[in-house]
Amino acid sequence: MSDDKPKVTMNSGPSEPDDALHEDVVRSTVPVLGGLSTITMAGLAGAAAAAELGTAAMAGLAAATGLLTVLSIAAWKWRQWLPIPEVVAVGMVLFPAGGGVVGLVLSDDVAWSLGVIAALGLVGASVVSTRWVVAAVYTVWVGWLAGLAAANLPQWPLGWLGAGAVVTAASVMASVNRRRMAEQIAELTATADQVSVRDPLTGLVNRQGLSMMGQQIVENARRSGDAVHCVYVDIDQLRHVNEMSGHEAGDDVVVAIADALRTITRGTDIVARWGGDEFCVVGPGPGMSPMELERRLRERVLQSPPVPVDVWEPKVCAGGAMLAPWDSGTLDTLLGKADQEMYLRRALRRGGPRSRTTAAAEEEQQPNA
Residues 263 and 345 in one domain: yes
The answer on 297 and 259 residing in a single domain is yes
Q: Please tell me what DSSP assigns to residue 142.
A: H
pLDDT at 350: 72
Is 172 a domain residue?
A: yes
The answer on 302 and 270 residing in a single domain is yes
Domains: count for the chain = 2
pLDDT tens for each residue of the chain, 369 residues long? 333 333 333 333 333 445 666 666 666 666 666 777 777 777 777 777 777 676 776 677 777 777 767 777 776 666 556 566 677 788 888 888 888 888 888 888 888 888 889 889 888 877 878 888 898 899 999 999 998 998 888 888 999 999 999 999 998 998 888 777 677 656 755 665 666 788 889 888 888 888 888 888 888 888 778 888 999 999 998 988 888 888 899 899 999 999 999 988 887 788 999 888 999 999 888 888 899 999 999 999 999 899 888 888 888 999 999 988 888 888 898 999 999 999 898 888 876 555 444 445 445 444 443
pTM of the model as a whole: 0.49
Q: What is the CATH number of the domain that holds 262?
A: 3.30.70.270
Question: Do 248 and 127 lie in a common domain?
Answer: no
Is residue 171 domain-shared with residue 222, that is, in the same domain? no
Q: Is 195 exposed, middle or buried (0-12, 13-18, 19+ CB in 10 A)?
A: exposed
152 DSSP assignment: -
Which residues span the domain enclosing 286? Answer: 207-365
Residue 23 lies in a domain: yes
Q: Based on the fold, state whether residues 182 and 40 are members of the same structural domain.
A: yes
- 30 and 177 belong to one structural domain: yes
- pLDDT the model gives residue 272: 92
153, 168, 193: which is the final residue of a domain? 193
pLDDT at 329: 82
Q: Same structural domain for residues 184 and 219? A: no
Flag whether 94 is in a domain.
Answer: yes
For residue 357, tell me if it sits in a domain.
Answer: yes
Q: Are residues 145 and 175 in the same domain?
A: yes
d(CA 143, CA 258): 61
pLDDT of residue 79: 57
Q: What gap in Å lies between CA 141 and CA 6, rounded to an integer?
A: 51
Query: Looking at the structure, do residues 263 and 164 belong to the same domain, yes or no?
Result: no
Would residue 1 count as lying in a domain? no
- Kindly write down the DSSP assignment for every residue of 5-33, as one continuous string: SPPP----S-SS-HHHHHHHHHHTTHHHH
In a shared domain, residues 28 and 54: yes
Among 130, 164, 193, identify where a domain stops: 193
Handedness of CA 7, 10, 11, 17 (dihedral sign): positive
Complete edge-to-edge strand list for the sheet that includes strand 278-284: 270-273, 278-284, 228-235, 316-323
Judgement on whether residues 156 and 217 belong to the same structural domain of the protein = no
In this structure, is residue 7 part of a structural domain? no
**Domain boundary pick from 193, 220, 252:** 193
Q: How many residues does the chain have?
A: 369
2 in any annotated domain? no
| Residue 294 covered by a domain | yes
